[in-house]
Amino acid sequence: MVKYIYITLKSLIFNPIIGMILYKSKIHPLARVQSFGSKVQVSQVIIKEFVSVIPASGLIILEPGVLIERNSELRGMSNKLQLGRNTTINKGVTMIGDIIVGDSCLIAQNVFISSRSHLIEYSPGLTIREQEAKFLENNTQDDFPSDEVLIGQDVWIGAGVVILPGVRLGDGVIVSANSVVTESFGPNLIIGGIPAQVIRNRIID
């Protein structure tokens, strides 16, 4: 039986140099929670094995009741990545950049959400890799364009969904499996497809 690292008030971890806060949480020994000069705030959460929580120069907040299943990665950038209360992240989920997820959300396995993309028009004529190398000659990773992703409360995102930069999903949205969400949708809608479109309203009068 795997023994989790159970962090209580008596064993509260706070290092003012790396700014890591873990309180009343169960962190699997094979999980990786890092902080590079910024804060990772983790309170009353469960993080399973092979999960990576890496804030880069930003802030990652995991609110009470969050569960992150194995092989998932949360990689912050320059601003904030936040998971609301009682939100569940299933296996193999990747979240990159500036992302806010509301309370009581369900994110199924192998979902990909990012507020950033590759540079494809920075220096026409160069490959994507060369364009990004050229950009970094006078900029840092924090300077890459980022369009925040906002996900409301009680949102269910099905397996294999991709959510692109700038998307806003209202409260109560359901996204069907394997959809690609390229635009924003209001509350209480069931959406799906490539690109995702409205299937019907979740609330039937």
Backbone angles phi, psi at 134, to 5 degrees: -65, -40
28 catalytic? Reply is no
Nearest-angstrom CA–CA distance, 65 and 45: 5
**Catalytic one of 11, 37, 118, 128:** 118
Nearest-angstrom CA–CA distance, 17 and 159: 38
Q: Give, as one character, the DSSP assignment of residue 185.
A: B
Residue 22 β-bridge partners: 13, 42
Nearest-angstrom CA–CA distance, 13 and 151: 30
Nearest-angstrom CA–CA distance, 84 and 204: 27
**Residue closest to 172 by CA, chosen among 187, 185, 183:** 187
SS3 state at 140: coil
Q: Give catalytic residue positions.
A: 118
